[in-house]
Amino acid sequence: MYFIELNNGVEIPQLGMGMAAIGSWQQDDEYVSEVILKAISLGYRHFDTASVYGNERALGRALKESGLPREELFITSKVWDTEQGNTKTHDAFARSLERLQLEYLDLYLVHWPVPAYTRETWEAMEALYQQKKVRALGLSNFRKSDIEQLATFAEVRPVCNQIELHPYFTQQPLVDYCQFHKIAISCWAPLGSGSAWSAVSEHEKPLVDPVILEIAKDHDVGPGQIILKWNIQQHRIVIPKSESLENMRNNFLLSNFNLSHSEINSINELNCNKRLGGDPDYANQTHVMVKVPD
């Protein structure tokens, strides 16, 4: 397993399991717990959920059933747009912990930027950090302007920014900015499958790009493994979502090959600024209508 040391000294597994819409959107039943237990049996220890995904309880049940020591796990959750603000963020965090049956989180993220509430939200998160209820604080979908706003008042530096990043949407200027400021990059939808709300047809995905397929053939691995290793070798965190045992296993088997500099550059050059998920410029307009389940 690969690890990255975050800017506060906490180590995070570079490969985690994304949990948006396992089964279906906000599904929270035994099926979800069974998928997580399969992942744990394969060696996954990093799980990335969010209050709005509606499956924190299923994750909590699976973690308890696994019997793994808490210190072997890395659990991330996020505060949703409608939960932002001082008191609301404290309440949202407490509800997440209760659903997860945990005493602390490893990482807590602002799910999407809502600039009017960023200061209140971040200060609430800083209080949770000082109380040792969370080991690290981070961002998700934050633009450069959002990070610059945060920098004017933050006392605790964010450790990461989780953004849409795949071979068709590399966001290199934002990646460079974050890495310069020692903010790690975490990639959601790293295989270019879009978000839980944006269906992407098979022929639009980087997984079927001829460049990716050729490199995969050369290494005798799957195209998904090539994309994940492309991220790993560039010191990024990846959280692919999968429900099948075969795909989860393949996503985890990345140590038997390395990409050359020219192969990495070939994949970098596939960028066409093609966003397949939500855009932080507009997302909040629809997010305010999305309810976090109890």
What is residue 130's predicted lDDT score, i.e. its pLDDT?
Answer: 98
Residues at the binding site for substrate are 111
pLDDT surpasses 80 at 198: no
Cβ atoms of 139 and 147 closer than 8 Å: yes
31, 44, 53, 168: the catalytic one is 53
pLDDT surpasses 80 at 195: no
Cβ atoms of 241 and 22 closer than 8 Å: yes
Helix axes 86-100, 118-130, angle to 10 degrees: 50
Residues 110, 138: Cα–Cα separation, whole Å: 7
Residues 175, 199: Cα–Cα separation, whole Å: 25
Q: What is the value of pTM for the model shown?
A: 0.95
Ramachandran area for residue 7 (φ above 0: left; ψ -120 to 50: alpha; else beta): alpha
Cβ atoms of 72 and 45 closer than 8 Å: yes
Q: Which of 153, 93, 94, 146 is nearest to 120 (CA)?
A: 153
Q: Kindly report, residue by residue over 161-171, the tens digit of the pLDDT.
A: 999 999 999 99
Q: Kindly report, residue by residue over 81-105, the tens digit of the pLDDT.
A: 999 999 999 999 999 999 999 999 9
Q: Kindly report, residue by residue over 38-55, the tens digit of the pLDDT.
A: 999 999 999 999 999 999
Q: Kindly report, residue by residue over 107-151, the tens digit of the pLDDT.
A: 999 999 999 999 999 999 999 999 999 999 999 999 999 999 999
Q: How confident is the model at residue 1 (pLDDT cuts 50, 70, 90)?
A: confident
Residues at the binding site are 111
Q: Which of 176, 264, 251 is nearest to 15 (CA)?
A: 251
Cβ atoms of 46 and 17 closer than 8 Å: yes
Residues 291, 235: Cα–Cα separation, whole Å: 34
CATH code of the region 3-201+231-244+273-287: 3.20.20.100
> Residue 53 catalytic?
yes
* The pairing of beta strand 11-13 with beta strand 3-5: antiparallel
